[in-house]
Amino acid sequence: MNKSLIIIIIFLSVVGLSLLGFYLFSQNQIKPEQPIPEQTQTEEKVVDRFVENPEKGQLGYQEPQTKIEIGTQGVTKGTFEKIEDGNIFLRDGDTLTQLPLTTDEVAFDCTTQDLSSATELDFDQVTKVQVTTSSELQNLIPANENIVVFAQEVEGVNRAHTIAIDASKCSP
């Protein structure tokens, strides 16, 4: 093909596309303006950085139940014996209980509640929560200390994930 013919085809294509673009643009300008939908904003009333009526998962939410009965829902109490091979051993009277610990982290709760006679654990009396590993846990619990252990089934095995002890025995 001739070089000048190619240039003419390209020029006519550019002019044609420009005219088409101008036509479409002008058609859009002629249409009556569509009303812009009103945007409604919902505002939460914030009081001191807290939502007034927070739902579960929001900052400031308070659990309605802060006590859990010992002996139910995987909650056991006893006297600490030892931690060995990833298991915690506690004694309640003549019964020695062995529970495997979770493999990654264990919550270590310090409470002002007297655990020797407690029939339920009151979370409102927990003053400090430390996250530790099962290997470090041995150094945190004194021998013969009253403890409460929370366990949950993980992959078919009931594993201890939280240990509560007297706050005076917690390390700073």
The overall pTM is greater than 0.85: no
Query: What percentage of the chain reaches a pLDDT higher than 70?
Result: 85
Query: In terms of Cα–Cα distance, which of 129, 92, 95, 93 is closest to 111?
Result: 129
Rounded to 5°, angle at Cα 86 from 73 and 102: 45
Rg (CA), the chain: 34
Model pLDDT, residue 60 = 73
**Rounded Cα–Cα distance for residues 28 and 102 (Å):** 65
DSSP, collapsed to helix, strand or coil, labels residue 42 as coil
The pair of three-digit structure tokens given for residue 160, joined into one six-digit string: 């201890």
pLDDT tens track for 102-157: 888 999 899 999 888 888 888 888 889 989 988 888 888 888 999 999 998 888 88
Buried b (16+ CB within 10 A) or exposed e, 6-20: eeeeeeeeeeeeeee
Return the higher-pLDDT residue of 116 and 34.
Answer: 116
Please calculate the CA angle 119-122-125 and round it to the nearest 5 degrees: 130
